[in-house]
Amino acid sequence: MQTFANYTYERPNIPKVKEGFYQRLEQFQNAASLDAAIDAIDELNAIRNHLSTMYNLGFIRASIDTRNEFYHNERDFFDEHLPEIQELDTAFYKELLKSSFEPQLRDKYGSQLFDLAECQIKAFSKEIIPLLQAENKLTSDYSKLIASADINFRGESYTLAQLGPFSEDPDRETRKEALEARQSFFAENKEKLDSIYDNLVKTRQQIAEKLGYKNFVEVGYLRMQRIDYNAEMVERFRKQVEEVIVPIATKLYEKQAKRIGVDSLKFYDESFAFSSGNATPKGTPEWIIENGKKMYDELSEETSEFFQYMLDRELLDLEAKKGKESGGYCTYIEDYQSPFIFSNFNGTSGDIDVLTHEAGHAFQVYSSRNFSVPEYYFPTSESAEIHSMSMEFFAYPWMENFFKEKVEKYKYTHISDAIQFLPYGVAVDEFQHLVYENPDWTPEERNQAWRNLEKKYLPHRDYDGIESLESGAFWQKQGHIYEDPFYYIDYTLAQVCAFQFLKKSQENRGKAWQDYIDLCKLGGSKPFLELVQSANLKSPFEEGTVEAAVSFIEDWLDNIDDQKL
């Protein structure tokens, strides 16, 4: 059995790949029968899967160690050539849509493939390839800059991820100093961060104009493959969050201030939930993995098989270390049918959230890995986040294994955080709409827009005079804003769906779990609202859904004496 370390990477010969691809595309164009057309599609998909496999292997290994010169160069190679690979996809999609066998192929694969094809065609042309290459380089510049952080704090050197535990330190001065140390990195790199984003916005505006759009907003929605909802529906959803969630979140922050014994809650207090200390895992990373295996063995046969597959093939890289990129993600290595989980364990409860959240993504793609078209391995992003966020809740019965006597403290914090995240999530989304509707804004104007959104969605927030944050630069730590424009509302939509799964699991756990399994198996074969419906959930866009999804949670939180946890 091969492990990840032995998965073979070889830089693709792009001209040769193109030649083979177009030969098979011609076979598809000239197919004399439906079977011949399907055979040609299978061969085209094999080429596409192999290219994606090489990209993902290079990306994963470069993110595990940004100082690895070989994979650093391979990442640069793909930054340059991904637009050409995208051109191959677009050529295939164009032929797919005009095939004489289109009705039969639509019956075989479902309409979602054809709708996704239309999105890509509308968001791509040969003329924008140089701009896409420039965009890729800029996003890599951002991730490398963030990964390069080497922050001196009380005589020791830390990455941004390694500084994380200090935000939960019982000593308030330590929390404040750690935040100031963190922000010193962003302040020192302000010009670079401003320049990278300024160039990204202008490059994306040029892309939009060359494609015939007024601004990048519509391109962003096409890239995110939002087939069955639009910006107006998202705006109405944000309004629900503002009206329903912001007051609940504000009340939770007020309770937290009382709980930790401060007169006024500052930003550096927000991650410190209890004066007796936050709930943290009671063991080493190895111990966490052992308990993770026990949890997934007991949760279901399907999760037991999946997690053993991940362990056997060493498809998890979890600990924070020097040179490693920040954050966490799950991706899929097609040729090996292997999900891969990347994170930065740092001794906080977030380590367990990774084990459930990213494992939710990985379990979903493992469950749908046998689809014959790569478009269906993962669903679109807002649907994908339902699997991850819901898995966090389905794992609740096993949290005692990780947190022991502090398990109720963990659950209270976890669900409070989920509520409090929603206003921030919609703020990030509205910020991006404003930025791309006003591409000529200066960095200062963008910062002011962010500060205004904080006052609207996060009225409790108090930066205690820390200059870079008071000026409105907090958003620069959010990698999605740089790297994946408009990818953020997805988390909030999915969180509302996950709350529904939590409620259903308390009413009938067996039925709720079966709905979840069935949803995972559907992969990306349907658009968001159809997947929501298939899981017997209500659309987050429907008026009243947000309030209905959180009312039982608000009651639960109100009935807990948080002072005694």
Q: Whole-number mean pLDDT of the chain? A: 96
CA distances to 65, 339, 373, 397 from 342, in Å: 12, 10, 25, 24
**What sign for the dihedral angle of Cα 551, 552, 553, 556?**
positive
Q: Strand 156-158 relative to strand 151-153: parallel, antiparallel, unpaired? A: antiparallel
CA distances to 380, 516, 540 from 533, in Å: 15, 12, 11
CA distance 485 to 470: 24
In which band, very low, low, confident or very high, does the pLDDT at 326 lie, cut at 50, 70 and 90? confident
CA distance 252 to 265: 11
Q: What is the pLDDT of residue 135?
A: 96
Ranges of H-type helices in 98-124: 102-109, 111-122
Mean of pLDDT values over 5-11:
98
In which band, very low, low, confident or very high, does the pLDDT at 410 lie, cut at 50, 70 and 90? very high
Q: Return the H-helix or E-strand segment holding 329.
A: strand 329-333
- What tens digit of pLDDT does each residue of 541-556 get? 999 999 999 999 999 9
Mean of pLDDT values over 95-100:
97
Residue 341, helix vs strand vs coil: strand
In which band, very low, low, confident or very high, does the pLDDT at 39 lie, cut at 50, 70 and 90? very high
Q: In this model, does residue 220 exceed pLDDT 90?
A: yes
Q: In this model, does residue 561 exceed pLDDT 90?
A: no
